[in-house]
A and B are shown apart, each in its own frame.
Chain A
Amino acid sequence: MTVIEQRVCNLVSDVFGLDPESVTLKTSHDTVEKWDSLNIVHLVMAVEAEFNVSISPDDAVDFLSVELICAILAEKGVA
Chain B
Amino acid sequence: MSLEKIRVGQRETVEMTVTSQLIDAFAALSGDDNALHMDDEAARQYGFPQRVSHGVLSLAFVSTLIGKKMPGAGALWRSLKVNWLRPVFPGDVVLITGEVTQISPSTSSLAMTVNGTNQHGTVVFEAEVNVGIGMELVSASDAPPAQRLVVESPPALCSSSETAPAILVTGGSRGIGRAIALELGKSGHPVAVGFHNAHAEALSVVTEIEAQGGRAAAIRIDLGAPIDVGLLREVEIHLGPLLGLVHAASPPLQNCSFEKLDRQDFEHYFHVYVCGAVELMHALYANMKQHQFGRVVLLGTSAIIGTPPTKMTAYVTGKSAVFGLCKGLAVELGPIGVTVNMISPGLTMTDLTRDYSPRMQLAEAQKTAMRRLATPNDAASLVRFLLSDEASFITGANLPLTGGAVLF
Write the residues of chain A forming the contact surface with B, with a CB cutoff of 8 angstroms. 28, 30, 62, 64-65, 67-68, 71-72, 74-75
A75→B359 contact, CB < 8 A:
yes
Contacts of A62 in B (CB 8 A): 359, 362-363, 366
In the complex, residue of chain B having the shortest beta-carbon distance to the beta carbon of A62: B363
Is the C-beta of B371 less than 8 angstroms from some C-beta in chain A? yes
Give the most central of B357, B359, B366, B371: most A CB within 10 Å.
Answer: B359
How far does the alpha carbon of A29 sit from the alpha carbon of B95 in the complex, in Å? 62
Q: Is the CB of A72 within 8 A of B366?
A: no
| Residues of chain B within 8 A of A75, CB atoms compared | 357, 359
Contact assessment for B362 and A71 in the assembled complex, using a CB-CB cutoff below 8 Å: yes
Chain B 344-359, CB-CB to A under 8 Å as 1, else 0, gives 0000000000000111
Taking the nearest CB of chain A, how far is it from the CB of B373, in angstroms?
13
Whole-angstrom distance between the Cβ of A70 and the nearest chain B Cβ: 9
A28 to B365, CA, bound (A): 12
| Size class of the contact patch on chain B | under 10
Given contacts A68-B362, A71-B358, 4 further A-B contacts (CB under 8 A): A28-B366, A68-B363, A68-B366, A71-B359
**Structural contact, A68 and B371, CB atoms closer than 8 A:** no
Q: Interface on chain A toward B: helix, strand, loop, or mixed SS?
A: helix
- Where chain B touches its partner, the secondary structure class is helix
Please give, as numbers and ranges, the residues of chain A lying within 8 Å of B363 by CB-CB distance. Answer: 62, 64, 68
For residue B371, which residues in chain A have a CB less than 8 angstroms away from its CB?
30
Instruction: Say how far B366's CB is from chain A's closest CB, in angstroms.
Output: 5
- Per-position 1/0 for B361-380, Cβ under 8 A of A: 01100100001000000000
Contact B359 A74 (CB under 8 A): yes
Chain A contacts for B362, CB-based, 8 A: 62, 65, 67-68, 71
Cβ of A30: which chain B residues have Cβ within 8 Å of it?
A: 371
Tell me if A64 and B357 are in contact (CB < 8 A). Answer: no
Q: A71 CA to B362 CA in the complex, in Å?
A: 8
What would be 22 A-B contacts, judged by CB atoms less than 8 Å apart?
A28-B366, A30-B371, A62-B359, A62-B362, A62-B366, A64-B363, A64-B366, A65-B362, A65-B366, A67-B362, A68-B359, A68-B362, A68-B363, A68-B366, A71-B357, A71-B358, A71-B359, A71-B362, A74-B358, A74-B359, A75-B357, A75-B359
- Measured in the bound complex, the distance between the Cα atoms of B373 and A65 in whole Å is 16
Q: Given the complex, which residues of A lie within 8 Å of B359, measured CB to CB?
A: 62, 68, 71-72, 74-75
Output the residue of A30, A67, A71, A72 with the most chain B CB within 10 A: A71
- Chain A proximity of B369: nearest CB distance (Å): 11
Q: Report B249 CB to chain A, min CB distance, Å.
A: 32
Please name the residue on chain A nearest to B357 by beta carbon.
A75
Q: In the bound complex, how far is the Cα of B359 from the Cα of A65, in angstroms?
A: 11
**Residue of chain A at shortest CB distance from B367:** A64
